[in-house]
Chain A
Amino acid sequence: QSALTQPRSVSGSPGQSVTISCSGTSSDVGGYNYVSWYQHHPGKAPKLMIYDVTKRPSGVPDRFSGSKSGNTASLTISGLQAEDEADYYCCSYADSSTMFGGGTKLTVL
């Protein structure tokens, strides 16, 4: 299995919106509504931000939203804040296994 494809980096200014894409295939992203997104600050444990493509766990701000179209999932962060600067990973279920994207470094300018 190959990793899902994410842009290596994205950036935005405080208050702006950014979208991170996650491209897969019909065997993973396109075949299941079980895409999750994780925020990872270096040296800390990853944090679940979105699951089941669009659902937010309790405590995650509604500035974070997820969507999917075909074989591509997306994470949108609106109203960027300095603390959003981190690495973001998508993850998709695929037939009794799961796989991560390569990760995207978000820089808040």
Chain B
Amino acid sequence: QVQLVQSGSELKKPGASVKVSCKASGYTLTTYAINWVRQAPGQGLEWMGWINTNTGNPTYAQDFTGRFVFSLDTSVRTTYLEISSLKTEDTAVYYCARAGAGFLQSDYWGQGTLVSVSS
């Protein structure tokens, strides 16, 4: 069965970096794009962008340019979200999701990774 399994919670200090992983199983990773979605505490879902798993080409939403990087390693069926120069307002749950329903509509989601940024 299709699964996306994300790495565990992270506690970081402001200015540090974090890398969240999302491992796919049950299907061929390169068949569908991967979306990344953020949910800050008490807030709604926010689309961060997507990565083309065939080419590795990322596309970032307007609010997620500069410090956010999507990447992938097809040899281990894993996509990554790296956030640099962390700020307290980056504290959120980050989800990866398979865009398997077409046109960036997400049919399977990872369990989410909580990234907490605090001094």
Known: A98-B47, A102-B44. A46 touches B105 (CB 8 A): no
**Which B-chain residue is minimally distant from A89 (CB atoms)?**
B45
Contacts of B10 in A (CB 8 A): none
B55-87 contacts to A (CB < 8 Å): 59, 61-62
Min CB distance, A15 to chain B, in Å? 28
Contacts of B106 in A (CB 8 A): 36, 38, 46, 48
Known: A45-B95, A46-B109, A48-B106. A100 touches B44 (CB 8 A): yes
Min CB distance, B22 to chain A, in Å? 12
Contacts of B104 in A (CB 8 A): 34, 93, 97-98
User: What is the number of residues of chain A that contact chain B, defined by CB distance less than 8 Å?
Assistant: 27
Chain B interface size range: 20 to 34
- CB pair A1–B62 under 8 Å, yes or no, is yes
Contacts of B89 in A (CB 8 A): none
Contacts of A69 in B (CB 8 A): none
Measured CA separation A51–B102 after assembly (Å): 9
- CB pair A46–B95 under 8 Å, yes or no, is yes
Q: Which of A38, A96, A99, A103 contacts B59 (CB 8 A)?
A: A96
Question: How many residue pairs between the two chains, A and B, have CB atoms under 8 Å in the bound complex?
Answer: 70
Known: A45-B95, A89-B44, A97-B47. A51 touches B107 (CB 8 A): yes
- CB pair B59–A45 under 8 Å, yes or no, is no
Contacts of A32 in B (CB 8 A): 103
- CB pair A93–B44 under 8 Å, yes or no, is no
Using an 8 Å CB-CB cutoff, how does the interface string of B32-63 with A read, 1 for contact, 0 for none?
00010100000011110100000000010110
Using an 8 Å CB-CB cutoff, how does the interface string of A76-109 with B read, 1 for contact, 0 for none?
0000000000010101010011111111000000
- CB pair B44–A3 under 8 Å, yes or no, is yes
Contacts of B59 in A (CB 8 A): 96-97
Min CB distance, B81 to chain A, in Å? 16
Contacts of A48 in B (CB 8 A): 101, 105-107
**Chain A interface (Cβ within 8 Å of chain B)?**
1, 3, 32, 34, 36, 38, 40, 44-48, 51-52, 57, 87, 89, 91, 93, 96-103
4 shortest A-B CB distances, which residue pairs? A103-B44, A45-B109, A34-B103, A51-B101
